[in-house]
A and B are shown apart, each in its own frame.
Chain A
Amino acid sequence: MPSLLLSRRTVLRGLGAVIALPLLEAMIPRRARGASATAPLRFMGWFHPNGFNADMWTPTTEGSGFALPPTLAPLGPVKDDILVLSGLTLGGPGVNLGSHDGGMAALFTSAKAIVSGVTNSIDQVIAQKIGTGTAVPSLQLGIELNGYYDPYVDDGTGFIQSPTSQYDDTRDICTDDQCKAAVVQGARLPNRYNPRLIFQQLFGSLSGTGTGDDAAVARRNAYRKSVLDAVTADATRLSSNLGKSDQARLDQYLTGVRQIESSLQNAGSGAAGCAPGTQPKGIPFAPTQRAQLMCDLVVKAFQCDATRVATMMLGRCVSPMKFIVDNVTYSHHGDASHWGTDTTKKHAKDVIDNWQVTQLAYLLTQMKAVSEPNGTLLDNSIVYYSSDIADPNLHNQDDMPVIVAGKGGGAFTTGRHIKTGIAGRTTGDLFLNFLNAFGVQPSTFGDFGKSPLGGLS
């Protein structure tokens, strides 16, 4: 087992002894490699359930001098770091991709249908480019499981009047498609919900974080590597008997094995002084606390280079999360989003939209506060914020709510409102801008991305 040797020294001599060993490339912390003059570019996709009330969202003027409308008001502290894009469509002008479900499928894929083996979401395409060396190639987060957490009303799951001190540590994964946004090779990736377990996934294999026993971390990583070596040997034994199509299936599996090995190689070498902080206790009952804890995890994960790609669902697709507005309890989807002509309900939807944007503002403010060699973490990120539908009554997908935050490492000139709708441009076109920022130049994206938008840089 020659591959174990590096880690074995780490284990046997402790971290300090590593310095005395020959400095092999694999053992150099990520940050120390490549002169560390620039921080990497990161991507985050954010899902806002149930569309938006455009009258409270869309700025009235274009360009840099725009005033933030009421729903976007929480973004005041980061106004200069965002692009508000209005007029984008999901599938082209007048095209309805099938209400919530079709919109959810297209949200990050720009695809008219998720096709097995074919469809990838924008975050996954980026992760394939930049994520493979990190501890977690991409992170999928959400705050609303099946069996909805409800801060105020007992919905049969027992969460009544949830005070901020209460946590649920028994759950993590949401099983149905309405909790899934990221898509790889046509397979939807489930979100994780439990901040404690996400914390372990992100930082559990990193040494030098100050949160655990580095020798134990190194030993666990070495053992993981040994198990991967053993199953690679199994695969080699198998492959001698296989035909072409089976060999391709086995190669897919081995690609996955090698990706984990690559993550371990980097993770085991330490997080270069980053401090992920205290491990969370579980899923907080209170939704705002839940959302902010997830944002904290993303910021720390980006900072520690534990991942470079994340998606976040601030509620399920067709979210029924309950909100109290003016002493009345509203289900986001059932009561507030389908407001019809009821202005009281419309106001509730405005308040909920505002709450959602407030969570985005929280994330962006944290990111802006992190200094990096070349600007702030926010400068070196692209955060894409949108929904599955546009108008919550019509369930259409024209004039989608779109915010792009962060300068994308210099790709975008932020602090502007841009109307893009004249030519019926799509969010898939915008994804081509994102990919260009990450150094990928495909000619199309999904079914609807045909050419990058102009005027963003």
Chain B
Amino acid sequence: MPEETFAAAAHKGDGAAANPLRAGLTAERIISPCSTVFFGASGDLFKRMLLPAVYAMHLKGTLPADFGLVGFARTAYTDDTFRDYCRQQLEIFMPAESKPQGALWEDFVRRISYIAADFNDTRHFVNLKERLAQNDRDFGTAGNHLFYLSTPPSVFPEIIKHLKRAGLERSDDGWTRIIVEKPFGTDLQSARMLQSAIEAVFPENEIYRIDHYLGKEPVQDIIALRFANTIFEPIWNRNYVQNIQITSAESLGVEERGGYYDQAGALRDMIQNHVINLLALVAMEAPISSEADDIRNEKYKVLSAIDPPAYGAVWSMSARGQYGPGTIDGRPVKGYRQEQDVSPDSNTETFAALRLGIENWRWAGVPFYLRSGKRLPRKLSEIAVTFKAIPHRFYGESTDQIEPNVLVIKIEPDEGISMRFEAKVPGPQEHIRSVYMDFSYGSGFGIQSPPAYERLIGDAMLGDQTLFTRWDAVERAWEIVTPILEVWQNTKDFSFPNYAAGSQGPESAKSLFPDWRHL
């Protein structure tokens, strides 16, 4: 590197660009020093997902050596009691070999602090500002601040307003970024209101709308599968694809989230964000580069080509369901209306299925089937691309069923790719049978994918927005589901509960699309 360039890079505050020793290292994309503030740090998401992710990053050396963690929530912890709380939660939620102990834990815990706060009191945000300045002095966090909103969405606007009042919306010395947990609004109107509250304080390039599905390795691999291979893209269109099915199924019920879920439902909770994001990745055109905005431009373009259903057509292209009592894994489970914090005559759907079309040159006429539900027979997230049937049959015994080829991108619980094709059964007869080629991330690379939250928190610290959803795509996803949401909300479904826990879902979904892949 020329002398001038070396010096200039060193002053950019971007360690990755300045440090020639970084070339080729695992952490070539280094995270600059920073303090991360978790709003809602006494909540479930923090203890189960966020804290373990940050500690795992520390153990792996992917967290910056100079960092600070500030918990900000209503519960009346002190710094010390919050540190004890963090240790207890890590004892529960970290694997045995990564429990909090030794020098690495000591180094981590001394960087944790806590502010017991009312989200509606600016004074507490002023305290936060002082704490962040203290972190800069004590831990060398260089004025870089990452705010993680992991509270109920109803308080997001309050937090943002008070961040601004306390002068925390920008840092004189470093960067400021904000991660916003899903759901981003509860409908189109509330999403727009939330967006206007956020964008009044933070520019788009500082806003990280998180959808943890996008941090999963197989989801990221959709782009590699499509655009790092030559064999798929030529047939990835209406000429060869019969339909695409995107499924996100859970065997769990609403657990302790009944209060939240009864206000949300499957359409808001899963389809509007996770499932539509998967659709965008599988259907978008090739981006011109792997830069965040080039990928996000293509995602927005393809979502723009989906016509939201007309109100009169909602029932012919969607189905909803609510689980009743049933059996999962041989164990009886209660129905949705018997769950804690759920209204006994709830009209909320725990299953949603819809058929969408993408009106562009590539996909015109190809149905995209989306479904998501709770208390289905098993946990399964996948994208299944079903190809068209062969045009002319001349081979195989007449009784043999010749199935179409299916490419399945498996996201959960298995991570991998599977291809179904037809093969001759060995022997003198011409019997045909379906066989599978299977690729599994676990055995294919011998490497366990890092949990999604580790990847996404790390990306936010790095300033890489690729795996976060841009506002235009969020808004478009709301526009697509809004007619369905409104018709469903305004129509009481007297058939509820209409599927038994552990079954394949409601009959109405089967009639919507009889060829759903069996769960």
Q: Indicate whether A and B interact.
A: no
Mark B residues whose CB is within 8 Å of A. none
Mark A residues whose CB is within 8 Å of B. none
